[in-house]
Structure 1
Amino acid sequence: MNPKERLFKVLKKENVDRPPCICPGGMMNMIIEDVMDIEGVTWPEAHLNPKMMADLTQGMYKNKAFENFGVPFCMTVEAEGMGATVYMGTKNTEPRVTEYPIMSSEEYKKLTNINVNEGRAKVVVDAIKILKERNEDVPIIANLTGPVSLASSLLEPMIFFKEIRKKPEMIHELMNLVTDNLIVFGKAQLEAGADILTISDPSGTGEILGAKNFNEFAVPYLNRIIDELKEYANGGTIIHICGRLKSIYKELNSLHSDAISFDSITSVKQVIENVSNKAIMGNVSTFALENSDTESLKTMCDSCLKNGVDIISPACGIGVRTKLDNIQVLLECTKNYSR
């Protein structure tokens, strides 16, 4: 069973020989310095060049880190495309928003629409086209920043969350515009050849929003993206939510994705007990991957597998300084595991 077949089957809740080991990309970055050095391709240049972007994500697969390709390597492509100012980072720091294009949700009409034929959105689309030509057996994951996280990258987060209470109608207008743009960018990635769609919404957590606001300001927009794009995502769809999920277990069941991915702070057993009809993905600690020894990581990985995860993955992507040896433990552990 090749990596693409295995991941496709897991997302359809079908039987497989073993769990896949993946890291989607996007907010859940999958690139490390070690592989930059091996492949001779580095950040920030790879954020701006489709071939370099493709080479880096393929390098992670070639060096036995993960069983997928995934682009981009940050969560700022959409924000930049809609008018935010972005600092491109360094070899070992990710791009970040440095200036918000609007000061209130009432200014949402000032935002520009993402043009998939220019800028970094085009780089991502072109990188996927390159990857599609290289290896048919490895799943290509398209990545979107979640709607709450994108909205709070266009408007200062404290203002955004304050206006959820004070100007909910305007926030909904902003969220609808953001969602429209995410659908356009997601469709372009999938039509370019990506197999699977991952939406990562770190700011759209129940810890920040609470169950009521999560249900009102996150779920409908996440579901609209999934509903619009699932026909293009042949392999399936994944949603990643950060933070503790205990307060929103009920709401997670209403998400339309095939899989749910979550933070290491959340119990795998509790998610399995409370969330049905979804593949469970995660949740080896990102911090531990960077800072623990290989034996400790084997124990963590084994624990995740024994607790019932369907897909092994770093909980929230990986730090760029994480050692390749540490990441390889996940794949080795998964390959040696049998239920």
Structure 2
Amino acid sequence: MAKIIDFKCTYDNSVGISKEVTQKTDLKFPEAYTKFDSMAILSRELKKEDNANFCQLPFCHTVEGEALGGIVNLGDENIGPRAKDYICTSSQEILNLPEIDFSKGRISEVLKACKSLREEGENVVLYISGPFTIMNVLIDPRHIFKTFRKDPEMMQRIFDKFQNEILRFVLEAKKVGVNMISYGDSSGGLNILGPKFSEQVVEMFTYPLLKEIEEIIDDETIVLLCPKTSLALLGTEKAKWEDIDLKEVIKYPDACVKVIGRAKFAGQMCIKNKEFELKNGIIKTIKLF
């Protein structure tokens, strides 16, 4: 019987943007985090700073929560957007939140920035968060963990709501040409939920979500899973590693671009680890059962 093992994250789930990057622009903050053209400028500067092969958006994990009504501190040139005040005090209030309107607000600007960068020929990584990370913007996690323990049916309804929102986000990303989607939910990792609840999350949410995403994306898109998610899928026997030999020493982000069209999911390493090298030339992709 397999079991879930944890991935020791060294990036603290931070997308972020450094002061070194913001100082190279003439942009005003926090306004720059709210408009697509300034987002695109920041993303290109971050790519240069990191010597990366892709642009990344957004610069935080609060976009979905804000689009659901959450209150966000937009930050400044030193620190990006972050959660401010909770708007929900119960699980039912989470269910009562309206659907995301992708035509307005910061989430709309993120998609426009993705479209602009893709039209310029850039590879674009769009960071999409899982349910626990999104809920961190909306509600004190203690309420959700209590619901998970005492009312599994209510928890399933919450998961269904977030699955719907994430799938709609993926569809919007597809419309604007995003070719790399990063999915993770470190706020719902093994180190926080424990083995029992982590297994239930895979069964109730993660695996069904990714099976749906597998049907949505085409051969021009790859989903980059957080290694915590990859190991949860492997540990519950919902997926297996599938090796692709690229026959060259290659950095992990470059390998992810090369296997677009040959695999739907990668996830052996965090995409933020831009210097991680595949010395044997083999990238481990994820094959869902």
TM-score exceeds 0.5: yes
**Cα displacement (A) at 1:48:** 0.2
Task: Compute the TM-score of the two structures, normalised by the length of structure 1.
Answer: 0.64
CA 1:158–1:242 in structure 2 vs 1: closer, same or farther (change >3 Å)? farther
CA RMSD of aligned residues (A): 3.2
Pairwise mapping of residues 231-270 of structure 1 onto structure 2 (< 5 A)? 231-232=216-217, 234-240=220-226, 248=232, 250-251=234-235, 254=238
- Structure-1 residue corresponding to 2:250: none
User: Where does the alignment leave 5 or more consecutive residues of structure 2 unmatched?
Assistant: 1-10, 244-264, 285-289
State the SS of the aligned residue for 2:137.
helix
User: Where does the alignment leave 5 or more consecutive residues of structure 1 unmatched?
Assistant: 1-24, 260-276, 290-300, 312-339
**Cα displacement (A) at 1:209:** 1.3
Structure 1 counterpart of 2:152, from 168, 193, 212: 168
* In 2: Cα distance, 1:278 partner to 1:194 partner: 16
Looking at secondary structure, tell me which structure has more helix per residue.
Answer: 1
- Structure-1 residue corresponding to 2:120: 134
The answer (yes or no) to whether the contact 2:133–2:187 under 8 Å persists in 1 is: yes
CA 1:310–1:197 in structure 2 vs 1: closer, same or farther (change >3 Å)? same
Structure 2 counterpart of 1:87, from 60, 73, 84: 73
The answer (yes or no) to whether the contact 1:142–1:190 under 8 Å persists in 2 is: no
**Cα displacement (A) at 1:152:** 3.7
- Structure-1 residue corresponding to 2:269: 281
**Cα displacement (A) at 1:308:** 8.3
**Cα displacement (A) at 1:256:** 8.6
State the SS of the aligned residue for 1:153.
coil
Pairwise mapping of residues 144-223 of structure 1 onto structure 2 (< 5 A)? 144-223=128-207
* In 2: Cα distance, 1:149 partner to 1:176 partner: 15
Aligned residues: 249
State the SS of the aligned residue for 2:59.
coil
Deviation by residue 1:268-323 (Cα, 9 ceiling, x = unmatched): xxxxxxxxx955224888xxx9xxxxxxxxxxx57x65598849xxxxxxxxxxxx
* In 1: Cα distance, 2:28 partner to 2:280 partner: 37
The answer (yes or no) to whether the contact 1:103–1:155 under 8 Å persists in 2 is: yes
The answer (yes or no) to whether the contact 2:222–2:266 under 8 Å persists in 1 is: no
* In 2: Cα distance, 1:139 partner to 1:206 partner: 31
The answer (yes or no) to whether the contact 1:280–1:309 under 8 Å persists in 2 is: no
State the SS of the aligned residue for 1:154.
coil
CA 1:278–1:182 in structure 2 vs 1: closer, same or farther (change >3 Å)? closer
Q: Which runs of 4+ in 1 moved over 4 A?
A: 255-259, 304-311
Task: Compute the TM-score of the two structures, normalised by the length of structure 2.
Answer: 0.74
**Cα displacement (A) at 1:162:** 2.1
- Structure-2 residue corresponding to 1:68: 54
- Structure-2 residue corresponding to 1:10: none
State the SS of the aligned residue for 2:17.
coil
* In 1: Cα distance, 2:131 partner to 2:76 partner: 26
